[in-house]
Amino acid sequence: MLARDMTQILLLGGTGWLGQTLSRQALDRGHAVTALARGTKPFVPGVSAVIADRQAPAAYGQVAGRAWDLVIELTDRPRFAREAVQHLGGAAGNWVFVSSCSAYALQSEPGADETAGTAEPLPEAEDGEGADFGRAKSACEALSMHERNGRALVVRPGLIGGPGDPSGRSTYWPLRFAQRRDPVLVPAVPNGNAPVQIIDVRDLAAFILDAGLAGERGYVNAVGALHTLGQTLEMAREAAATVAASTGHPAPTHQLVGYDVSRMAEDRVNPWAGPTSLPLLLPQEDGYAGFARRSDARALRLGLYRRSLRQTIEEIIRGGGGIDVDSLRSGLTAAEEQMLMGRWESGPGLVARGADG
């Protein structure tokens, strides 16, 4: 097919985890893909790489003046979002802004849909390193919609997970259960019942391409199916056994040691993400009652396909054979886990029971 007859997709970004996944899928579908980034990480082979720093005044010179079928904007910088849509938005057929469920003002209402209010948009003057992510995304959303006169789709992902998750949030528990080190420290109830909504990066990319090229408009949450953290840990344990059996190894056997989460502040263990954390565990405050419990109804109506979380977890283990859990950006290192268990043995704090009870 002649290049001019192919669907032309421009990624503003494209070298990050989602951006690379979008690139691969769009190329596999036979589209022509151009990606604009500084190139701090590799572009996917086959992509037309445009190396540009969006801080620079002429950043969009090489991609302006073309009628893109679809532009996918991945930034969290309001100035970048505004300048890009002003330079490129007039001629683009379809425009997707990849936002976040963090753009909502409140995380306290379980089941809230896309009509929930968004955070106060971050002024451009406050844009930059360390800026409030949710407010920045809210500003980017508003600018994109305004400049396109509503002819844009704002996709709000919840937690993105899958093999290669650079944050380590979705990979910690599967890879931890795939290790033979025993026992495993897990959050005790009630936080074992914390909600989990993980959207697989590959399903998210497919949805963005499908909905973007179909010309869908408006706002849509793109979140995973709802599970509890206890169910997620159980899936990780089962998937580790399945993968071991399929490679001719005995299943790892694990005792679970339930950690009393009321000790987290004292033990300097973080919820949710990052070093010395219990990944996916939500903070205790009431303000999180609706976090990871967003409505997925519109996305499903628009055709979002989601593989099962069990499948994502198994694929994380299959793809993560050589990954040392200690090297992940989230979770407990082996030494931290042992230290916390040792502290329990010498005093109160941990309770010896499984994640489900």
Ligand X SMILES: NC(=O)c1ccc[n+]([C@@H]2O[C@H](COP(=O)([O-])OP(=O)(O)OC[C@H]3O[C@@H](n4cnc5c(N)ncnc54)[C@H](OP(=O)(O)O)[C@@H]3O)[C@@H](O)[C@H]2O)c1
Pick 11 or 264: Cβ nearer ligand X:
11
Pick 53 or 285: Cβ nearer ligand X:
53
Phi, psi at residue 275, to the nearest 5°? -65, 155
User: Rounded to an integer, what is the distance from CA 164 to the centroid of its chain?
Assistant: 11
Q: Near ligand X by CB under 6 A, which window of 12-20, 145-153, 253-261, 298-306?
A: 12-20
Q: C-beta of 169: minimal distance to ligand X in Å?
A: 7
127 in contact with ligand X (CB under 6 A):
no
Q: Near ligand X by CB under 6 A, which window of 37-45, 118-126, 238-246, 284-292?
A: 37-45
Q: Near ligand X by CB under 6 A, which window of 15-23, 290-298, 314-322, 329-337?
A: 15-23
Q: Do the Cβ atoms of 152 and 82 come closer than 8 Å?
A: no
Q: Please select the residue that binds ligand X; options are 139, 160, 239, 313, rule is CB under 6 A.
A: 160
Encoded tokens for 60: 């969009």
Residue nearest to ligand X (CB): 16
Q: C-beta of 266: minimal distance to ligand X in Å?
A: 29
164 in contact with ligand X (CB under 6 A):
no
The tokens 């001719």 sit on which residue?
248
Binding mask 38-77 for ligand X (x = CB under 6 A): xxxx----------xxxx------------------xxx-
Binding mask 95-114 for ligand X (x = CB under 6 A): ---x-x--------------
Q: Please select the residue that binds ligand X; options are 6, 7, 17, 93, rule is CB under 6 A.
A: 17
88 in contact with ligand X (CB under 6 A):
no
Q: Please select the residue that binds ligand X; options are 9, 18, 292, 316, rule is CB under 6 A.
A: 18
Pick 162 or 354: Cβ nearer ligand X:
162
Closest CA to 355 of 254, 271, 252, 244: 254
163 in contact with ligand X (CB under 6 A):
no
Q: C-beta of 98: minimal distance to ligand X in Å?
A: 4
Q: Near ligand X by CB under 6 A, which window of 35-43, 184-192, 208-216, 289-297?
A: 35-43
Size of the site for ligand X (CB under 6 A): 25
Q: C-beta of 140: minimal distance to ligand X in Å?
A: 9
Q: Do the Cβ atoms of 158 and 223 come closer than 8 Å?
A: yes
Q: C-beta of 60: minimal distance to ligand X in Å?
A: 10
Q: Do the Cβ atoms of 357 and 351 come closer than 8 Å?
A: no
Pick 35 or 241: Cβ nearer ligand X:
35
Encoded tokens for 336: 């931290």
| Residues of the shown chain interacting with ligand X in the complex, contacts defined by CB under 6 A | 13-19, 37-41, 52-55, 74-76, 98, 100, 157, 159-160, 167
